[in-house]
Amino acid sequence: MKIAFVLDPLDSIKTYKDSSFAMMREAAARGHRLYAIMQEDVMWRGGDVLAFARELALTSDPYHWYEASQATESSLAAFDAVVMRKDPPFDMEYVYSTYLLELAQRQGARVFNHPKAIRDNNEKMAIARFAQFTAPTIVTRQESQVRAFLAEHGDIILKPLDGMGGTSIFRLHRTDPNIGVVIETLTHYGRRTIMAQRYIPEIVRGDKRVLIIDGKPVPYSLARIPKEGETRGNLAAGGRGVAQPLSPRDGEIAATIGPILAAEGLLLIGLDVIGDYLTEVNVTSPTCFQEITEQTGFNVAGMMIDALERQAG
Is residue 272 annotated as part of the catalytic site, yes or no? yes
Q: Is 280 a catalytic residue?
A: yes
Directed axis angle between helix 289-296 and helix 300-312, to 10°?
Answer: 120
Decide: helix, strand or coil at residue 40.
Answer: helix
Q: How many residues does the chain have?
A: 313
Longest dimension (CA), the chain: 60
- d(C-alpha 298, C-alpha 301), whole Å: 9
Is 192 a residue of the active site? no
Instruction: Compute how many other C-beta atoms are within 10 angstroms of the C-beta atom of residue 164.
Output: 18
Q: Which of 232, 234, 250, 291 is catalytic?
A: 232
One-letter amino acid of 182: V
Note if 11 is an active site residue. Answer: no
Residue among 224, 234, 250, 291 flagged as catalytic: 224
Active-site residue, 249 included: no
Estimate the share of the chain in helix, then strand, then coil, as percent rounded to the nearest 5: 35, 30, 35
Of 85, 124, 198, 208, the active-site residue reads 124
Which of the following is catalytic: 18, 26, 123, 280?
Answer: 280
Catalytic residue among 159, 162, 207, 214: 159
Catalytic residue among 86, 214, 282, 291: 282
Q: How many whole angstroms separate alpha carbon 283 and alpha carbon 280?
A: 10
Q: Annotated catalytic, 282?
A: yes
Identify the active-site residue in 102, 162, 272, 291: 272
171 labelled catalytic: no
Which of these is catalytic: 113, 162, 209, 214?
209
Comparing CA positions, the residue from 81, 120, 101, 106 lying closest to residue 307 is 81
85 noted as active-site residue: no
Known catalytic residues? 124, 159, 209, 224, 232, 272, 280, 282
